[in-house]
Structure 1
Amino acid sequence: MANDTKALLPQAAEGRVSKPAKWTTKSRVFFLLKFYWTFYVLFWLLPRLICEHFGPSSPPGGYVDPDGACPQVDALEPAGANGELWANLSALYAEDSYEKRAISWLSGAVRVPTETYDDMGPVGEDERWDTRGPFHEYLLEAFPTIHSSLKLTKVNTYGLLYEWPGTDSTLKPILLMGHQDVVPVNPDTVDQWAHPPYSGYFDGESIWGRGSSDDKSGLIAILATIETLLEHKFQPTRSIVLSFGFDEEAGGPQGAKPLAEFLLDKYGKDAFALIIDEGAGYVEQFGGIFATPGIGEKGSANVKIEIHTPGGHSSIPPKHTSIGMLSSLLVHLEANPFPVHLSRGTPVYQTLQCVAAHAPDVPPKLRRALVKGRKSDRQLRKAEEIVFENNALKALAGTTQAADIVAGGVKSNALPEQATALVNHRIATDSSLKDLRAHYPGLFKHLASSFNLSYTAFDATILDSKATFGDLIVSSPYALEPAPVTPTDADAKPYALLSGSIRTTYAKRREAKGLEAEKVFVAPGIMSGNTDTKYYWDLSKHIFRYNHHNQGTGGLGRIHTVNESMESESFLEVILFFTTLILNADSADL
């Protein structure tokens, strides 16, 4: 047996001593490379490929964000006596009788046309402002308790300022905003409306008409909340101020601007704990529900491009007319847009980080790029490539340009002596008017030279006017810097209060209606346009644009167009939101 066993083992040759094989440098390197390659494939590359192409989009039980990039505060319910009142009102808002009352409030407001046009003259001179008078009469009739209990000041005739003093004057007040006016209805589209645009018609689910969403739903929800709180004998500890402009759709120069100046003069700089104005709501994203209060607004500027050239008879034209030259400039402008990047710390970046942290169905490739992009510039560029396939997100992230108005020429047989274009820019939150203006001088210089034009940009001479065929002038008749970004860090108490109120409202409304509530996440967002808050920057560092609309059911989807409407359920939830916010703010440390 011993011999058989011995025969199965490796044997050394007779007369020789066996020695271990020598490791050469080449073999060592080969072994290490093979080892590391095997480790890389088995333990790093393969699991990721499986997850990306075959596995679920997030780990079982949901994605756990290791960096805490989008922390969520707990739902915040009013406490003490305010808590008891809040519970009673939450139940009241779910009753049919109150729903009918709320619907009648909004329907009545829609029936009063308060259209704003861009060319309206000063208040007192242009009769088109007079539509605000009947609207004020309607508010007086619809909300009698407010008008008998709160101090009302009318600023520049039609601006409405309501003040409800609290019992503790040392606390900073909260300021709630909205606007009375609506965009005009195009007469050519009236027959396209499911219901007449100023009917305020309720079909059992939605209130129809211009302003039902933007922004009479917000204004009426605030007044409904205050009226109901007064009827239930609520006395605030913290003062509440309501400010309603009347020309937001034309930029607010005669409404919001004088209101803001009045408030600044009376209350002082940074006098308000927080400001809430119209804005976004909540919507489903990648399997999660996200509320996105606007914490910033892009800047805005209209850039005017003018070309002046000699006139003459069109039968003897120059090589390029002023219109032809302007066309070349606009083509060149569109071929050279502002570079757009996904920048850390911007509202768009913060929104995406919250989606990556909490939405269950984010594609693995995008989630990985967003998470790793917090520290890696290369991964951030990967995330940018994916995200910017959505043109709307790309537009929100960067400075945009849109040639909106062109004019030139007066007759078919006369050479145009002047051609003009107006280009609208929306300036990214991490950019500035200075950056915008720096873009133009070099952009048009070579074209101006080739057309033999003098060139002035924003009052600076780029090419002189000696021996030129004409003049190119670039100016900016309107300009607004990006808004200051509202803080959302761990020390930002107003943002925490708002977030907790949103989460509580969402859950409570569904509980009161006997529905199962999904969890709602709060993500800092950004407005695509500007609100009346552009005049209110000095009044508070904590400005939010948010109305708690359900955007997934048409809340913001049909504003400024045919068939604007507001679901009654969504409107009732807006009322509950303002109720929750006011009662929470009343006892909060802000």
Structure 2
Amino acid sequence: MGKQKLFLPTQARATSTDRCPKWNIILLLASVLALLWTGFHVDIESLDGPVFNGAPTCVPHTAPICPQAPALSPQVHKNLLADIESEYVTGGFKSRVVEWLRGAVRIKTVTHDDMRVVGNDSRWDVFGEFHSYLKEAFPLVHDRLEVTNINTYGLVYRWEGSDASLKPLLLMAHQDVVPVQADTVTQWVRPPFSGYFDGEFLWGRGAWDDKQALIAILYPSSLSIVFHIDHSFRITLETLLKHGYKPTRTIFFVSGFDEEIGGHFGAGRIASHFLSTYGENHFAMLVDEGAPQTAAFGARVAALGISEKGYTNVKVSVASPGGHSSVPPTHTSIGLLALALVHLEENPEPAHLTRTSPLYELYQCQAEHSPNFPEKLKRALRKSLHNDKALKRAEKLLFTSEGGDVNRIYLHTTQAIDLIGGGVKVNALPELAWALINHRIATDSSVNATHSSIVDKLTPIARGLQLDFEAFGFNVTTELDPAGQLTLSHFLDDDLEPAPVSPPNSAPFQLLAGTIRETWETGRGKDSEEPFIVAPSIMPANTGMILRPGSVGVLHLKSLLDTKYFWKLTPHIFRYNHLGMEDMGPLKNHGGMHSVNEAIRIDGYHDQIRFFTHLILNADEANL
């Protein structure tokens, strides 16, 4: 079967090793003349030549900034896609979409943080009911594809391709949803597990996160096996077999069942199964849930998550002598802990814009293609490609503009003091006080760097308060007559480094970007004059839903995804949701996913289904 070649535009990247002697000489002469003219004062940015780390380079000014992948549509399967697309616009199809998603939402596949292993906790049993529903809704998928259950409720669908030399495509979506708090049920416009459809939005827990993706992936798979259009046209399984239709590239669809509580039982076990069965780097690419499209500065942005922040939970505890509260010391253990915590909050990790951050590329894309992007910031970003001073200016503009707090959160390691405890009685001095601090680690930092920074910040505090200081099993300071003990330790021992960055100049990225553009331009964006940008980005991981019109960047609320278990299985991991913010719910101040009134616009959901259809067929023809 023929292949559709992907032409990859070259990203503009400057390096200090570039050589261009003639240009360097010209710049040197220009610098000397400028110094003489201005009295030995010159801003290096005034030079026409590009500068990187203070040294001229020969990167041309005409190098494209954030080149956009062209729309990509399958050619070998062009007729099949046309038939499928004609089905997608029928009223019968739209009705079936509502029924499929409604049925999935009604099954309460809720996971809780305290759930025990599968087999020892009856709360897992509901997933058996959910599997029965999937088999009933998609009988051909379960009949024709190889289906493997991992740890009882983890689902692995394998559709064997005809060319075993091609690395498979891997798609992911999870089955579980977060609980609905009992005291918020009355705040729901529609019951949280009703799957109520009001003619525009379908309501219920999981309608957005993430059963919509699970159903959207399963349906195109079933169409590719057997497909019919209400009484007017029919492509049966026999017809496909007669013409020898079969995927060239093997397709895997994976569905974990505990993503909302860490994914250890589901995706973690599935990834271990893949590693032991197929080995490392087995898959061409992985696509999982991610941020929705949003609008900013006159353009629509599809941000592809090519990395995620890491995390570490640190316990800070202070022990001091007890006694009666009628004769207290200057600071009790709670007071000593409070002083340490205040110092940490007053000295957060600095936020910096770096050229290695995926957010830098997102900002460059917005600056290049958004018609209403702030002009000063645009100029600074363009110059910052090769000039450190301009990079600092762009950073300052990002942090002081509207939405500056969002950008700062994205670009630095955050800390949140989430839990605290201490003391046992009102008239007894507390002998121990503790707090738990959650950190979301910037993509250009690390767990070790985060721990080291906390130690550096608290060392002078420990000395000033005359506390022995132990950090992660090592003595930092020792006092002759200590007032107490300050201790830093791991909590839960589940540290995770920032995710590897999936290269945006790769064939898988271009395939995904081209598919997104084609789906948009032939679907909801067909008559839109709004520029459409596909750009690299990151998943901030539990940073919070902070979306402001006109702010730079795209934020998304989500815990660390199941993808963290698959780092060794492919270097090309993408987090993306082919929906828009307008599809998230009709209420102005809606809570959305993980909160009250979770809902999804069905018209937008149709495009999500189209996206997976295009992606499956495009991946079958691409050189990855």
Normalising by structure 2, report the TM-score: 0.82
Task: Write the distance in 1 (CA, Å) between the matches of 2:88 and 2:509.
Answer: 25
Letter in 2 for 1:297: E
CA deviation profile, 1:397-435 (whole Å, cap 9, x unmatched): 111111111111122122222111111111111111121
Aligned counterpart for 1:581 among listed residues 615, 620, 624: 615
Give 2:138's aligned residue. Answer: 143
CA-to-aligned-CA distance 1:468-502 (integer Å, 9 cap, x gap): 2321110122310011100112xx11011001000
The aligned counterpart of 1:6 is none
- 2:412 aligns with 398
After TM superposition, the structure 1 = structure 2 runs for residues 545-560 of structure 1, keeping only pairs within 5 Å, are 545-554=575-584, 558-560=592-594
Which whole-Å deviations, capped at 9, do the CAs of 1:443-481 have from their partners, x for residues lacking one? Answer: 112222233221111212101265323211101223100
Cα-to-partner distance string for 1:20-74 (whole Å, 9 max, x where unaligned): xxxxxxxxxxxx99xx99xxxxxx99xxxxxxxxxxxxxxxxxxx9441201111
Task: Give the corresponding residue for 1:482.
Answer: 498
CA positional deviation for 1:350: 0.6
- What pairs up with 1:510-589 in 2 under 5 angstroms? 510=524, 515-516=527-528, 518-529=530-541, 530-554=560-584, 558-589=592-623
Counterpart amino acid of 2:483? F
Alignment-mate amino acid for residue 487 of structure 1? P
Measured against aligned partners, the alpha-carbon deviations of 1:117-156 in whole angstroms (never above 9, x if no partner) come to 1222211112222221211111111111111111111111
* 3-state DSSP of counterpart to 2:290: strand
2:446 alignment partner in structure 1: 432
Q: Tell me which amino acid in the other structure corresponds to 1:90.
A: E
Q: 1:273 — aligned with what?
A: 284
Larger radius of gyration: 1
Contact kept? 2:370, 2:531, Cα under 8 Å? no
Equivalent-residue separation in structure 2 for 1:222 and 1:155 (angstroms): 19
Contact kept, 8 Å, 1:302 with 1:425, in 2: the verdict is yes
Aligned 8 A contact 2:591 2:597 in 1: no
SS of the counterpart of 1:108? helix
Q: Which amino acid aligns with 1:541?
A: P
Indicate the percent of aligned positions where both proteins have the same amino acid. 48
Equivalent position of 1:282 in the other structure: 293
Q: Which runs of 5+ in 2 are unaligned?
A: 1-32, 39-44, 47-60, 228-239, 542-559
Where does structure 1 lack aligned partners over 5 or more consecutive residues?
1-31, 38-43, 46-64
Structure 1 residue aligned with 2:207:
212
In 2, Cα distance between the equivalents of 1:517 and 1:572?
Answer: 21
Q: Are the equivalent residues in 2 in contact too, given 1:303–1:475 (CA < 8 A)?
A: yes
Give the alignment partner of residue 522 of structure 2, picking from 508, 513, 532. Answer: 508
1:56 is matched with none
Q: Structure 1 residues 577 and 423, CA, compared in 2 at 3 Å: closer, same or farther?
A: same
Aligned-pair CA distance for 1:313: 2.1
Pair 1:174 & 2:188 matched:
no
1:326 aligns with 2:333: no
- Matches of 1:86 and 1:388, distance apart in 2: 45
Separation (CA, whole Å) in 1 of partners of 2:528 and 2:534: 19
Residue number in structure 1 paired with 2:103: 108
Counterpart of 1:297?
308
Residue 388 of structure 1 aligns to a residue whose secondary structure is helix
C-alpha separation in 1, matches of 2:516 and 2:531: 11
Question: Is the contact made by 1:175 and 1:242 (CA closer than 8 Å) also made in structure 2?
Answer: yes
1:444 equivalent among 458, 480, 485: 458
What secondary structure does 1:271 align onto? coil
TM superposition shift of 1:205: 0.7
- Tell me the CA shift for residue 553 of structure 1: 3.4
Q: 1:288 to 1:66 in 2, by over 3 A?
A: farther
Structure-2 separation of matches of 1:85 and 1:101:
20
Which letter does structure 2 place at the counterpart of 1:286? F
- What is the deviation of 1:510? 3.0
**Deviation (angstroms), 1:509:** 1.4
Pick from 386, 389, 393: which aligns with 1:382? 393
419, 422, 447: which one aligns with 1:408: 422
Instruction: State the Cα distance separating 1:519 from its structure 2 match.
Output: 4.3
1:262 has 2:292 as partner? no
Deviation at 1:316, TM superposition (A): 2.2
Aligned position for 2:357: 346
Distance 1:567 1:549 in 2: 9
The separation in 1 between residues aligned to 2:477 and 2:278, in whole angstroms, is: 49
1:371 match: 382
Q: Distance in 2 between matches of 1:522 and 1:557?
A: 26
Q: How far 1:557 sits from its partner (Å)?
A: 6.8
Residues 152-191 of structure 1 correspond to what in structure 2 (within 5 A)? 152-191=147-186
| Distance in 1 of aligned mates of 2:576 and 2:496 | 21
Q: Is this contact kept in 2: 1:551–1:557, CA < 8 A? A: no
Tell whether the 8 Å contact from 1:165 to 1:239 is kept in structure 2 after alignment. yes
Partner amino acid for 2:65? Answer: A
Q: TM-score, normalised by structure 1?
A: 0.86
Shift of 1:165: 0.5
- Partner SS, residue 525 of structure 1: strand
**Cα distance in 2 for residues equivalent to 1:226 and 1:388:** 45
Instruction: Give runs of ≥4 in structure 1 deviating > 4 Å.
Output: 514-519
Superposition deviation, residue 325 in structure 1: 1.0
In structure 2, what residue type is equivalent to 1:359?
S
CA distance in 2, matches of 1:344, 1:229: 42
Among 453, 477, 494, the residue aligned to 1:463: 477
Q: 1:200 — aligned with what?
A: 195
Distance 2:583 2:398 in 1: 24
C-alpha contact 2:73 2:618 (8 A) present in aligned 1: yes
Within the candidate set 234, 254, 257, 1:243 is matched to 254
Shift of 1:516: 4.4
Which residue identity does 1:75 align to in structure 2?
A
Q: Which amino acid aligns with 1:542?
A: H
Structure with greater helix share of residues: 1
Structure-2 separation of matches of 1:120 and 1:454: 38
Alignment match of 2:87 (pick from 86, 92, 101)? 92
Q: Supply the distance in 2 between the matched residues of 1:129 and 1:146 (Cα, whole angstroms).
A: 24
Shift of 1:586: 0.3
- Structure 2: distance between partners of 1:253 and 1:410: 35
Correspondence for 2:29: none
